[in-house]
Chain A
């Protein structure tokens, strides 16, 4: 009889572990939604600072159509971001020319050819490479690459699209390699075995079976690399020459959107048109990188649906 009573008592008992469990659940929930809170928070903040300009001094045709970025001019203030947008795009494009062959090559080697210790140490090295601070890359661009480009192409200055593109490409390659390698790893081994059993050489197998099967993951690796290129600031600021210019060749200096914000924001009066214009650049960047990441995500999801 007494046994039954004790057991009945235990049915609605709330002991320490019950409370710990509930607390942990709440904490995890907060951690989980914090990403959403931060994204929304950033967007609201950037928007609040930029919108005042967007609705008052902003001219769509000037912003996207003019190359005249003269925020500090006394009598003729203009905010034409075209050269900055083209600057960012050209550096990113150059970076992809460098990063795509490197990262896909590295991913294919690590994923399909390397085995055992080689493979593990390469993966660690690639991750290490991704952890190098961007200012260090900028420093390399400013000193080493600058000299090499001047010597190699016999031009007066080596801080240009080529320099920034190479630096940015090398910066973006590790993360692209990691994502691309994940995509290759996700291809079931039975496809490889089937192809090899039918007499495919390693390269035939990779080209005709593995790469097509991993296509979506590889595309999203490239897209994330592009997103990284658009957002990178310090290295581009240091290696691109930072002069407002529509580049006619890889040897022209340019200025990037991000670099403009970084270089100018500290010198503007809070609330001024210039301040608002820089935040508008920020909104624009935010939207672009958001769209790129979203596309990358959808592309990856695309495979799962099929």
Chain B
């Protein structure tokens, strides 16, 4: 995977993710129609739209996790960091080390907090040479998501025993040691209560700059307060994509205006 690294260093482009004429079918059902979309580096971009509009599907194309289901067919191009990730020679393991993902329901693995943090790191770097090195990695990741103080005494307990908020933070933390460039988040707060939503949102906002964040949300208030750019999708098509405040203040499409005013969705 020299290719990806080279692309990353040589191509200091502003665009982290770009799709061109992206079409996707679940069996015979077409979920995406000619989606052209680009995500700028280092900012938070939110994807909004009514249920079934294809926003999660689009997100799941960026690390090709959609392909877990055998009946998915994808056409078109998805560039991540200047690299066509649907090219035949692409190694999915490498793609997924550059593009981390946080799911709707927190899904820590049923092992200890510590092992959760080290899981992805060990997949990509092998076992650490020393326990001290591993400890440093674990502490750094947990500090980055403001979880260290909560769980520092519980590192060897099962991660599935944490509160949902802590689990979701852990799910973000475990991506960081492999130093991804892009973080995909599929409604990361929808399983959390309002208080937890607030802290996780804050955390996501703090991570911008270091990471390019693409977040799917049902919650328009969340998109409005916690994203730099916002894209509105409808029926598998990209309707409009602009700076968040512009999109909410002066939507160009009637459909967008109707949606953000809550007339459907």
List residues of A whose CB falls within 8 A of some B CB: 115-116, 190-201, 204, 208-209, 212-213, 306
Which residue of the partner chain B has the closest CB to A198? B120
Q: Known: A191-B109, A191-B110, A212-B111. Is A198-B68 also a contact (CB below 8 A)? A: no
Is B123's CB under 8 angstroms from A197's CB?
no
Contact A193 B68 (CB under 8 A): yes
Stretch from B41-49, B80-88, B97-105 contacting the other chain: B97-105
Which B residues are CB-close (under 8 A) to A191?
A: 107, 109-110
**Chain B residues whose C-beta falls within 8 Å of the C-beta of A192 in the assembled complex:** 68
Chain B 175-190 interface mask (CB, 8 Å, partner A; 1/0): 1001000000000000
Q: What are 16 A-B residue pairs whose CB atoms fall within 8 Å in the complex?
A: A115-B70, A116-B70, A190-B107, A191-B107, A191-B110, A193-B68, A193-B107, A194-B107, A195-B119, A196-B68, A197-B100, A197-B101, A199-B96, A199-B120, A204-B123, A212-B110
Partner of B92, one of A190, A199, A208, A209: A199
Cα distance A190–B186 when bound, in Å? 13
Contacts of A209 in B (CB 8 A): 109
- Of the residues A116, A190, A198, A213, contact of B96 by C-beta under 8 Å: A198
How many contacting A-B pairs (Cβ < 8 A)?
57
Kindly identify which residue among A116, A200, A306 contacts B123, using a CB–CB cutoff of 8 Å: A200
Nearest-Cβ distance from residue B105 to partner chain A, whole angstroms: 6
Cβ of B65 and Cβ of A197 under 8 Å apart? Answer: yes
Among B68, B94, B174, B178, residue most surrounded by chain A Cβ atoms (within 10 Å): B68
Q: Is B252 among interface residues, defined by CB-CB distance under 8 A?
A: no
Which chain A residue has the least Cβ–Cβ distance from B102?
A197
Which of B120, B124, B178 is most buried by chain A, counting CB atoms within 10 A of its CB? Answer: B120
Q: Are A197 and B96 in contact (CB under 8 A)?
A: yes
Q: Does B109 lie within 8 Å of A195, measured CB to CB?
A: yes
When the two chains form their complex, are residues B65 and A213 in contact, meaning their CB atoms are under 8 A apart? no
Query: In the complex the two chains form, is A306's CB within 8 Å of B158's CB?
Result: yes
Task: Decide: A213 near B110, CB < 8 A? Known: A194-B103, A198-B175, A204-B123.
Answer: yes
Q: What A residues does B158 contact at CB under 8 A?
A: 306
Q: Count chain B residues whose beta carbon lies closer than 8 angstroms to a beta carbon of A.
A: 28
Chain A residues whose C-beta falls within 8 Å of the C-beta of B107 in the assembled complex: 190-191, 193-194
Distance to closest chain A CB from B150 (angstroms): 21
Instruction: Report Cα–Cα, A213/B96, bound state, in Å.
Output: 23
Q: Which residue of A lies closest to B120 (CB)?
A: A198
Cα A131 to Cα B92 in complex, Å, equals 42
* Minimum CB distance partner of B106 in chain A: A190
Residues of A near B120 (CB, < 8 A) are 198-199
Cβ–Cβ contact B109 & A199, under 8 A: no
- 12 further A-B contacts with Cβ under 8 Å, apart from A191-B107, A212-B111, are A190-B103, A193-B107, A194-B107, A196-B65, A196-B96, A198-B96, A198-B100, A199-B93, A199-B96, A200-B93, A208-B119, A209-B109
Q: Choose one: A193, A200, A204, A306; the contact of B103 (CB below 8 Å).
A: A193
Interface positions, chain B 191-235, Cβ under 8 Å from A, are none
| Complex alpha-carbon distance, A200 and B93, angstroms | 6
For the complex, give the distance between the alpha carbons of A204 and B107 in Å: 17
Report B96-135 CB contacts with A as 1/0, cut-off 8 Å: 1100110101011111000000011001100000000000
B63 at the interface (CB under 8 A from A): yes
- B95 contacts across to A, CB distance below 8 A: 199
Once bound together, how far apart are the Cα atoms of A197 and B96, in whole Å?
6
How far is A191 from B119 in the complex, measured between Cα atoms in Å? Answer: 12
Taken together as a complex, chains A and B put the C-alpha atoms of A57 and B36 apart, in Å, by 89
- Does B119 lie within 8 Å of A198, measured CB to CB? yes
Return chain A residues, CB-CB under 8 Å to B110: 191, 212-213
**B65 contacts A198, CB within 8 Å?**
no
**Nearest CB of A to B215, in Å:** 15
Q: How far is the CA of A191 from the CA of B68 in the complex (A)?
A: 13
Contact B94 A199 (CB under 8 A): yes
Contact A193 B65 (CB under 8 A): yes
Task: Tell me the smallest distance from the CB of A200 to a CB of chain B, in Å.
Answer: 6
> What chain B residues lie within 8 Å of A306 (beta carbons)?
158
Q: Which residue of chain A has the shortest Cβ distance to B119 in the bound complex? A: A198
Docked pose: A285 CA to B175 CA in angstroms: 53
Nearest-neighbor residue (CB-CB) of A189 within chain B: B68
Q: How far is the CA of A234 from the CA of B72 in the complex (A)?
A: 50
For B123, list chain A residues within 8 Å (CB): 198-200, 204
